[in-house]
Structure 1
Amino acid sequence: MARALKWAAGLVAVLLVAGGGYYWRFVREIPVRVATPAQNVSVRVFGIGTIEAQVVSKVGFQIAGKLISIEADQGDFVKAGALLAKLDDEAQRSKLEKSEAARRQAAANLAKAQAQRERAEITYQQKKSVNARRQTLAGRGSVSQEAAEEAQAAEEIALGDVKVIEADTRVAAVLQDDANAQRRIDAVVLAQHELRAPFDARVVARTKELGGIANAGEAVFTLIAPDSIWVKAYVDEALAGGLEIGQAAVVRLRSEPDRLFETEVVRIDQENDRLTEERRVYVRCRVCNPQHQLRYLGEQAEVEIVKKVIPSGLFVPLKYIDGYDGRSGIVWTLQDGRLARQHVQLGERLIDARIQIVSDPKGQVVIDDRADLRPGRAARPQADGP
């Protein structure tokens, strides 16, 4: 009898412990964290990119020659028209002097031909007057017919001389034009011995040294327009919806992770990268000193673009959403003190992995990852979620 009572007492104790454990584990009311609406939430898109320059020019000489002067180096800021480098131009200067002499000679020959033409025209007019008088006198019988014929021949010869000299004058004019053109060519070639900046620029590279030979068309300097520097970022096309030119953005450089640069979107490529499925977006500094840190081309940068600001909304971390398909998912909710599963519609996704719930959930959305959640269980809100 005593033994039976002991077994009964033991069984009761086990049942009490099991019941208490079951109650503690599955029945008792539990505290859970719930989400609360957030205010003025920035919907941002994250992208990785590099610092580039929109205007890049590799400049060099149009002719080959030996470098006798280099006036700029990488990092220098140069104004448009500033001398960058110069080739040995002694031979070309001699050619220019020779063409200048030829030009002056052609001008003198033209002046001489014009003077001869004027003289020939005067002679022709004199012969023409004499012939007119002789012909009149010959008609009256005052002079012989032979004298009249000689006067006529003299007039025709003078006219021929005028035509010949006029032709010589035209030839001299053409030769002068040719000499002028040759001088201009030699002057242009001489100017090509100097390399000048095509625009206000910063020198980012120099490939030649003093005394070296520069070949025609070979780049000697690489120039960029300082105000054309931008960050080319790649944004996942799944998150690129709503991006527009003019939207604000912040840039964080790899060399200065604790510093942010205020920029704005200035270009969005009209064609996505088919391989990486990304959209190329370009942002440019709003107010930057030419010496700012964005001057180092090729440096990696992180870009956050502010697509819009939501005045008020309910945002839930992605890890608390089951069956997420990009548009909807299932969350735990607390309705009238009981837990339940609910299907909700989702909206904007933030870069901190929170997602906006756009449908109106019944009750409060639970953001708790405890393992003892089950539909119908009693629960109470514990505190605001993150």
Structure 2
Amino acid sequence: MKKKILIIVIIGALTAGLALAYWRWSHNNDQQRQWELYGNMDIREVDLGFGVDGPIAQVLVEEGDSVEAGQILAILEQEPFLDAVQAVEATLKFAEARMTEGIHGPRPQEIERARAAVQGAEATLANATLIHSRRQRLVDERAASEEVASTTQADRIVAEANLKKAREDLALLLEGTRHEQKQQQHAEFEAQRANLALLRYRLSRATLKAPNAGIIRTRIQEPGAVVTANSPVFTLALTDPLWCRVYVDESDLGKVRMGMPARITTDSYPGKSYRGWVGYISPVAEFTPKAVETPELRTNLVYQTRVYTCDPDQELRLGMPATVTLSLHEEVRTAPASLSDYCKTP
């Protein structure tokens, strides 16, 4: 009887030993197949400001509001910008009319009027010459004074000058606008058009729009405040892309590859994981930041790594501690072109 009990005890001990050995082997194998890293959630932030100076007329969002790309966030007073645009539009029309006139040249009616002026000046000169000749004969015959001849001589000189001017005016009209004048008129038109484009651009920058989807983190200015160009009005936290920033020891760098699949977990949502992939490995080593929760010495050289993740319910927050589990046994895929495309795939 004692012999049977001894055999049963030995068999039970061997079974327990084998079970313990299998558990240790399975646990070690799982550790070899998976690798945990610790870091913090990170996103990009951008300071948003108007591109021009002026007083703020409206602020349309509050801190914590979710905004879409292109959504209007705030508006400056528009009147000064609209008035400047209208003034330059009028100047541009005038410059365009001058340029068109220079291209087309004088109208036929203007040329005919210039020719008529030449003919009239010729007739006036002929009449002045005839009168002067008659008066000069009277002076030669001593039937009139020298003053009479001097007056008619002056009239003839004036008529000659008027005829010369009329002929030159006609010649200018027949020749048309000079090439240099056309270039000048064209340059004035282009300058005004460029000025109008600049003012319209300034008008567009007087309305502040969200460059990307995100969450308003800070509202810095209020209506009535006079701001300068590019001074911050909001701080926008972008919701895409979102990643966990971890640090990999130099000795473990060979385990990490671009496109490696990963799972991210946080203490805030126990039991829930977020899928992701390794999207960035720093080419430069650095000392471990003091804020990183790792069991290794903080003076080790490490490489910053970003594990991009999907967060459809917007539960992850900037700076939130997170655990990244890399699947060392899974096949490494080609890194996605964008995080949004990756999150759309199941």
Per the normalisation by structure 2, the TM-score is 0.61
Deviations 1:268-295 (A, max 9, x none): 222222444223221122x531x3312x
Distance (whole Å) between structure 2 residues aligned to residue 254 and residue 293 of structure 1: 12
How big is the shift at 1:70?
1.7
Report if the CA contact (8 A) 1:42-1:307 is conserved: no
Distance (whole Å) between structure 2 residues aligned to residue 170 and residue 260 of structure 1: 69
AA matched with 2:89: E
Report if the CA contact (8 A) 1:60-1:216 is conserved: yes
Report if the CA contact (8 A) 1:42-1:306 is conserved: no
- Pair 1:86-2:75 in alignment: yes
Alignment of 1:1-386 (within 5 A): 33=17, 35-36=21-22, 37-38=25-26, 41-43=30-32, 44-53=34-43, 55-113=44-102, 117-119=106-108, 158-163=170-175, 165-166=177-178, 168-274=181-287, 275-285=299-309, 287-289=310-312, 291-294=313-316, 296-308=317-329
SS in 2 for 1:292: coil
Report if the CA contact (8 A) 2:82-2:203 is conserved: yes
Go from structure 1 to structure 2 and tell me whether the alpha carbon gap of 1:279 and 1:300 turns closer, same or farther (over 3 Å shift): same
How big is the shift at 1:52?
1.0
AA matched with 1:293: E
Distance (whole Å) between structure 2 residues aligned to residue 174 and residue 232 of structure 1: 55
Report if the CA contact (8 A) 1:120-1:158 is conserved: no
Q: How many residue pairs align between the two structures?
A: 255
Deviations 1:58-112 (A, max 9, x none): 2211222211112233443333322121111222222122112222222333445
RMSD: 3.7
Report if the CA contact (8 A) 1:45-1:235 is conserved: no
SS in 1 for 2:329: strand
Distance (whole Å) between structure 1 residues aligned to residue 72 and residue 244 of structure 2: 30
Deviations 1:154-198 (A, max 9, x none): 877633344574455544433333322222222222112111222
AA matched with 1:250: R
Go from structure 1 to structure 2 and tell me whether the alpha carbon gap of 1:108 and 1:262 turns closer, same or farther (over 3 Å shift): closer
How big is the shift at 1:51?
1.0
Report if the CA contact (8 A) 1:247-1:264 is conserved: yes
Query: Which structure is higher in helix share?
Result: 2
How big is the shift at 1:231?
0.5
Report if the CA contact (8 A) 2:111-2:170 is conserved: no
SS in 2 for 1:278: strand
Go from structure 1 to structure 2 and tell me whether the alpha carbon gap of 1:105 and 1:229 turns closer, same or farther (over 3 Å shift): same
AA matched with 1:231: C
User: Where does structure 1 lack aligned partners over 5 or more consecutive residues?
Assistant: 1-29, 131-150, 310-386
How big is the shift at 1:113?
4.7
User: Where does structure 2 lack aligned partners over 5 or more consecutive residues?
Assistant: 1-12, 120-162, 288-298, 331-346
AA matched with 1:300: P
Report if the CA contact (8 A) 1:79-1:197 is conserved: yes
How big is the shift at 1:230?
0.6
AA matched with 1:281: T
Query: Which structure is higher in strand share?
Result: 1
Rg larger in structure: 1
SS in 1 for 2:254: coil
Deviations 1:108-157 (A, max 9, x none): 33445556534499559989xx9xxxxxxxxxxxxxxxxxxxx9998776
SS in 2 for 1:178: helix
Go from structure 1 to structure 2 and tell me whether the alpha carbon gap of 1:169 and 1:279 turns closer, same or farther (over 3 Å shift): closer
Deviations 1:216-251 (A, max 9, x none): 222222334423101111233334432222323222
SS in 2 for 1:180: helix
Report if the CA contact (8 A) 2:105-2:176 is conserved: no
How big is the shift at 1:47?
2.0
